[in-house]
Every structure is written in C-alpha cells, then in structure tokens.
Chain A
Amino acid sequence: MNWIKTENNKKINALEIPTISIEQMRSDLKEMKLRPVGFFGKQEFENVRLYVTLADDKQGKLYISSVLFTPDIKSYNSFTQDISQLHIFEREFYEEFKIEPKNHPWLKPLRKNQDEYPFFTMQGEDVHEVAVGPIHAGVIEPGHFRFMCQGEKVYNLEIMLGYQYKGIEDLFLKNPDNRLAESVCGDSVIAHNMAYSQVMEALSDTKIPERAQIIRRIALELERMAVHIGDMGAIAGDMAYLMGASIFGTTRTLVINTMLEITGSRFGRGLINTGGVNFDIDFEMSDKIRNVLDEVIKIVEKTTKTMLKSSSCISRMERTGTVSTETAYALGAVGMAARSSGINLDSRFDFKDRWYEKCPWEEDFKFTGDVYSRFKLRYKEVKQSARFIDDLLEELKDYEDGLKVPVGNLIRNAFVVSITEGWRGEVVHTAITGANAELIRYKIKDASFNNWYMLAMAVRNNGISDFPLCNKSFNLSYCANDL
C-alpha cells in the first residue's frame, strides 16, 4: 500500500508523501480501517492536493497519503458512504475547495454560508420547532441549535456553527506565534500551544530540554483538572444542585490559581514557547502544588461522593443523553466523550509518550455513555491527573537541563503531525513547509470538530429540558470548531 508511515511529532519529507488515485484511496481506507485524524486540502497552483492522515491507535503510528485533484475534477464519490467517520472532514473539504463529494449523506455548510443553511425539517401536526441561539442566555459562545420536537421530546437536533469563523489557520501562515496558538481555544490554552510548539520544534529539528517537557505536561494535566472540576460544577449547576455547583466552582479556583502562581496567568498563557517553557517549577513551588492538589482531591472526592449519593442527582444524570459505543464509533468521536461511551482512545497513551508510560491508566472505567458516565469519567480523570502531576513533579528533580533552547530555522518541504491530548480530546496540529522553508499549510483539528455530532445524537429521544445538561456534559468548544 502506498502510504508513508510515521509517528507523532516526527518530521517527514512532504515531497515523499505518495500520490494515489481516488479509487485507490477508497479501497485503502476501507481496507486499513484506521481512524482519520487529518483530511484536508492544499492548493498547489491550479490543483488541489488532499492529504489524508490515518492514526493506528493500537500501534501508535500515523499513515499519510494524498490524492491530487486536477481542475477538471469537480466531484468524486464521497468516502463517507464507506468510512462514516469522514463525514465532517468531507464537509470541511467541500466548503474550502468546492470539490463535491457526491452522495454525501449530510452535505451542509460547516462554517461559512449560514444564510443558506438547509435545515432539516419534519412535517406533522404534533411537531414543533424550537430555535435556540446564536445568542444564548449566559456567557457562552454563539451557535445555533434547531430542535424538532413532539411535546417535550426531541426528535432531532441540528447544530449550526460557524459564527466564530475567523480564518485562524491562515493567520498561522502569516504570523506563526505561540500567542496565536493560545488563542485557538480559551479553555485549551496549554493543549493547543503545546501542539503548536511541538509542530514548530519538529519542523526545525529542535530538541527541547527534558525539564521543559515535564513542565509542559504538568501544565497540561493542571488544565485538565481545572476544566473537569469546573464542568462538574457546571453539570451540578444545570441540575440546580447548589452544593455541587458552589463547591466545585471554588475548588476549580484553587487549581487555576496554582496555574497563576506558576505562569502568571490563570489559564497558563505565556507558559509554553517554541523551544521550551518560560517559567520554572522550583522545589518550593513543587511542594506548594502538591499541597494544593491534595486538598483539591480531598474536596472533589467528598463532594462527588455526596453528589452520587443524592438520588435526585443520579436520577437526573442516569440515562440522560446516552450515546452508544456504535454511534460514537460511527461518528468518529474522540477524547473524553468517546471514552465515556466505551471507545478507548487517549493519545497520551496511544502514541508512546515516555512521560506518561510511567503512570498509565489503571482504574477500570465502566462506561454507560450517558451524562452520568461523562460526569464519573471527569471525576476519575481529575484523580488520575493529580497522580500524574505528583509523579511528574518527582521526575522533575532529576532533570536540570534548563528550560529552553534557541529554535532553529524551519526546514523546507517538511510535513509534521502533532497530536496532544487536551482535556476534551485529541488536538491535532498539522503543518507543511514549502520550498522556501515557510509555512504553506497549517491545519488544526480540535476534539470538538468530531464530537459536536455526538451531542446531536445524545439529545435524540430525550426531553428538550435535558438539552442543557447534555450540552454541559460534553462542553464542546465553538471557536475550536469554527477556527
């Protein structure tokens, strides 16, 4: 098979990526049965080259190949019919390059042209339509939700996004910068910045100090803890469970204030730079972090236990917003939401990362795919992250090799895929450099991009009043999807 095999954060020669025919691509996709993590086009003079990146999560390998579309090819038979996980990728590709995937089951605008969005409608006397957004009650991002309901029951939810579209991928070409990477998604500052830095370091053959690697991972786990605890509070708040909402809310503050002490920003802005990190965690700080996290874990354990003993909370969460393993798999779900539906994907462990190997996922998680499952998984991940941080702080003592190194120039004609496990799921950054060693294509894929459809499936046949709870249990990002 004509695919180039590579690894996470490893540079390959972009010119060596094979070009195969559309039919060959189709049969390869069917045969290899791997998970697509990248499916994007790049303009090459008048042609369009479609790069496809597949992840072999069991072996921790990536496979890359490409298809060339000459200007006379205006359409092709969509891959989605065979590989359903590609549904959202093909919509994106169509929107950008106007090459139509024929017989695509749901070929609708993804980010642009919302004025002409063809909504799914239902006919019948009992059916009523509820339109929510793009401006919502509360301080959240814009997005439009269209429900088709019978009474209180939701038949279908259609999610129309794109209000945050700002062309951030093109901004990277003009001005590649860590501060820009931090702004991709406000609640995954560390994850996106880490992915960006890894891409740039691989593109310039920079090897950063081990101490910086450890500090990056500590920050990543702190971010995961903070958001998970905040979301647990938000789930409690949506159920009007006051105690959970207020206690988790204050506990999250302890975590982000720790981040503030390390980096000067509660969300970790300014910590990671290409070539290393800007701030050190010294001995004193390590102790401080440990003490705070001990307290945090104690509070989280106690509150979660109280909450899961309350029958009113359990009754709200159980069997609400269930996504079956089959549905999650068919949609190509990733990250925390996929794990709570029984798909074991975690790029921290799937793509060998020597810092995570020492502290693997030990506890068995019994998934049910509902809000309860997502709540419980967050709880487990918070505890796990605290353990990671503890281990990483221990490791930190042994590495005194500085914080950052100067970054070299970019290497020409290189192709790098970097996958980082943010709290929501995998954050995939792909970059290609051209003949003059400049960036010619930058592609970002956040976990939200895959998972928004999970939310649409989760609320089917649920009460419309349970939608906010389902939504909060996923807590997907609008801006990381709209880019």
Chain B
Amino acid sequence: MAYLLQHVVNALQWGSFYALIALGYSMVYSVLMLFNFAHGDIFMVGAYIGLFVATGLLALGSAGAVALPNWAVLVLTLILAMALTSVVGMLVERVGYRPLRRAPRASAALTGLMIGITFETLNLALLGAKRRSFPALIETTSYQVAGVSITNTKIMIVVISLLLMLALDQFVRRTKWGMAMRAMAVDIFVVPLMGVPINTMAALTFALGSGLAAVAGVFFGQAYPVLEPYMGMLVGWKAFVAAILGGRGSVLGAALAGFLLGFIEIFVAVVFPSTLRDLIAYSVILLILTFRPYGFFGEPYSARLRL
C-alpha cells in the first residue's frame, strides 16, 4: 500500500510537468486553432533560462555582491525565467505564426516544428552537447507519512503547479483578457470586429503558455537536475498528446490528462519492464482516441459546412 502511495506521489509530480506544458498547447489551440509545435522546445528554453538565472544569482551571492537566501533565488529564478521565456514565446508567435494566420493549418504546424528544431540545434551549437546540471535551490528534506517518503521539493512542485493552473483558470474565466481569449476561440473572424486586438491576444496567449512552460522547466531542473538540448522533444510531445487527450482547448482537460499521463507512465513502469513504458502508454492513448476521438472534454467532431 505504502509502495503504491509512493508511486502516486511520483506520478503527481511527473504529471505536473505534463499538465503545465499541456496547458500551453491547449491555450494556443483554443485561441488560434493551431498547435504550437515549438512548445516542447520552449519548455527546454525555459529550463535553460532558469539554469542561467539561477547560476548567475548564486554566483553573485558567492562573489559577495548580493547574497540572497536560496528560497529568494528560487522565486527570482521562477519569475525571471517566466518573463524571459514569455518573450521567447511571443517571438515565436511573431515569426512563425502571425505570417501564417490564413495559411493551411498544417503549414503553421510545420513552421512550429521547424522553430523547435532550430531551438534544439542552436542550443546544441552554442552550448555544446554536454548535459548541464541544475543547482539545487532548496534543501531536500523528506517527510515520512504513513511509510511514504515525501520530499518538500515534490510538495512544492505539485502545489505551485496546481495553484498556477487555478490562477490560469480564473484568469481565463474572470478577466476581460480571458473573455477576449474565449471569444477568439469561438469565432476568430468576428472578434476583431468587436474591437479585440487579435494579434495582441495571440501574443499574450503564447506568453502565458510559455511562462507556464518555463515554470515546468525550472521545476524539472529541481526534480531531475540534468538538462540536455533534446529534453523538450521528449517531454513536449507527450504533453502535446496530453493536451489532445484532454480535449482541444480545454484547460481543465489538459491539466487532468497531464496528470493521467503521468499516472499511466509511472504505473506502467511499476508493473512492466520500464522499456515497455512508451509502448503501453501510447497504445492506451491510441485506444482512448479511437473510441473517444475528441478527448475527454472536447466537442465531438462535426463536419460543419465551411462557407
């Protein structure tokens, strides 16, 4: 029982990463009806930005200039990484998506894919192929609760991720900006006539999604302190699958599906040899989508007449 619960805790942490990244995919989708295939690599960029900010701040501290406590470094790292990665996200929108707003959607998807590859390769070319370790910013203490060991890092990751998702949900539902985003999801052609600046809104959506991806990146660095250029591809594609599984454009669905994917992966690895993890996880997804092709919270596909 304790053994199982232990894995539940692990799955919650793993699922938080997927959920945070899946939210970015889902938001962009709901607003622009496009998937941002560069999003996995934006997650990677966020992790690296976090790495540089954290190392820079720690170096400042050890040089005696501004000695910050570690928790402050973590908070600053999170905020700066979010801000900088949001800029990267807006840049991706400007370069890769805005020129293609009226193009076939597959072309925009391909552009995103190519921008992602560019990020990966730029990272490889500029920083070299070596893996980098993320400095541990909070001291890990583990608590024993009913035979389950829970570290404070895990608690922090899961709680902050959940809080951010909640905040995003409120933002989309309660604010004027959120309303504009939801309106764009309904009809992108009418909304500009109502005075909504769609380019600004698209940039904002990318910025929000990228900010969340940056949080996921920093947390990933805290939980698994090894970063490499292709980490975005590995985690990003799965988060993308989670976004689809949740139902396109559904914030709640993306978050839930992210956690579900975390659970499937962790528990498959518990029961079967871990090499079968991807095989079983993707087969399950293939099955789910075959019988429920529009995900958990999506609308059924209807061949509407396009006029």
Partners in one complex: no
